[in-house]
Structure 1
Amino acid sequence: MCYALLTLGLACTLTGCASPDISDYTGREPAFAPEEFFQGDLTAHGVVKDRSGKVTRHFNATIDASWNDGVGTLKERFVFDDGEIQWRTWTLTPTSETTFDATAGDVLGTGRGKVAGNALNLNYTLEIDYKDDKLALDVDDWMWRVSPEVVINQSILRKWGFRVGSIQLVIEKR
């Protein structure tokens, strides 16, 4: 009996840590086509949270998005509440109808993205400045298209497998 309870408890704990699978969103509408949504001028508004869920910063961003010969470019400008400005330029390169590679100047290696239904999942390693040093964070980035003009985005930030923070934001087509 004790082993059965221990096994059940362990199974519940491991299941609680599992992430959704992109296939969970197959058939959901409105469909998320990156080359269609990430086109033209977009705005983003969001918060950065620490590992306890406390908001530590908020930001507004502009995104200039375009596609040329099937490759997407997203030029992002973030303005944080403390006045800091950050720039990031993403390059999205489709590798199939539902997958793509993603690179940016502060992304280590190549991110891998998948799309299904109204969802997009992108996994990458982001290098940030932290206490006069560089810190590499693993990012599990989820986006859900909730209307033709709006995407909700949640990014979970991890170091050595432990959750160290998150980012929530809304992206809107202008």
Structure 2
Amino acid sequence: MKVLLAALALLLTSCSSQIADYKDTTPALALDEFFNGELVAFGMVQDRSGRVLRRFRVDMVANWEGNQGVLEEDFYYDDGEWQRRVWYLEKHPNGRYTGTAGDVVTPAEGQTQGYALNWRYTLAVPVDGKVWDIDFNDWMYLLDENRLINRAEMTKWGFKVGEVTLWIERKSDV
């Protein structure tokens, strides 16, 4: 039984992407450069089977002073709901970033390598009148200096509950 569990663990970890996989890719992603100024995003939330639950637009404004950044996000959902999240970001050496927001339960920690960022945090998500702490494994991929794709897997108690996909553009190009 121990051998079977070890083999399964090895199989699962060998299938998952690691930030080091993107070390030599270009263009390099620097959050403080891409998320600076006005941006717009279009996205969707899917359940664990892939069914689209919601679609949305996000208007963003980001500003940095030194290693400290503020990212304001206004979410407009297709069902008429509006949400606001304000991220307080910090740039650290070696491509590391941390962030907090009012509904972020555990601070976000991320690492960039090449054109990718892996960002992990727990978010308080309202679902059917309750609030659930959902873990996010967030991946961002810089396409060029003005466009980025963001995919996040959402889990609860280690089980996948959904995904979020975003297309983000610097507003000057929209």
26, 50, 55: which one aligns with 1:53: 50
- Give distance in 2, aligned partners of 1:21 and 1:12: 14
3-state SS in 1 of match to 2:93 = coil
Distance of aligned partners of 1:108 and 1:118 in 2 relative to their CA distance in 1, 3 Å threshold: same
Q: Name the residue aligned to 1:121.
A: 118
TM-score normalised to the size of structure 1?
0.90
Residue 10 of structure 1 is matched in structure 2 by: 8
Amino acid at match of 1:14: L
Question: Do 2:151 and 2:164's aligned partners in 1 also have CA atoms closer than 8 Å?
Answer: yes
Identity over aligned pairs, percent:
41
Within the candidate set 44, 65, 69, 2:66 is matched to 69
Q: 1:57–1:68: structure 2 CA closer, same or farther, 3 Å change rule?
A: same
Gaps of 5+ in 1: none
Does 2:168 correspond to 1:171? yes
Q: Report how many residues are paired.
A: 169
Aligned to 2:107: 110
Name the aligned partner's letter for residue 107 of structure 1.
V
Instruction: Indicate which of 136, 151, 154 corresponds to 1:157.
Output: 154
Tell me which of 25, 30, 34 is aligned to 2:31. Answer: 34
Residue 9 of structure 1, CA deviation = 7.3
Q: Deviations over 1:92-126 (max 9, x none)?
A: 11232311111011001311110110001100000
**Which letter maps to 2:170?**
K
CA apart distance, 1:36: 0.6
Amino acid at match of 1:154: R
Q: Which has the larger radius of gyration?
A: 1
1:100 aligns with 2:97: yes
Note closer, same or farther for the CA distance 1:60–1:160 as it changes in structure 2 (3 Å cut): same
Quote the Cα distance in structure 1 between the aligned partners of 2:108 and 2:6. Answer: 35
Question: Displacement, 1:131?
Answer: 2.1
Is 1:83 aligned to 2:80, yes or no? yes
Root mean square deviation, CA, Å: 1.9
Counterpart residue type for residue 88 of structure 1: R
Is the 8 Å Cα contact of residues 32 and 91 (structure 2) preserved in structure 1? no
Q: Which runs of 5+ in 2 are unaligned?
A: none
SS in structure 2 at match of 1:53: coil
1:145 to 138, 142, 147: 142
Contact 2:37–2:62, Cα closer than 8 Å, also in 1: yes
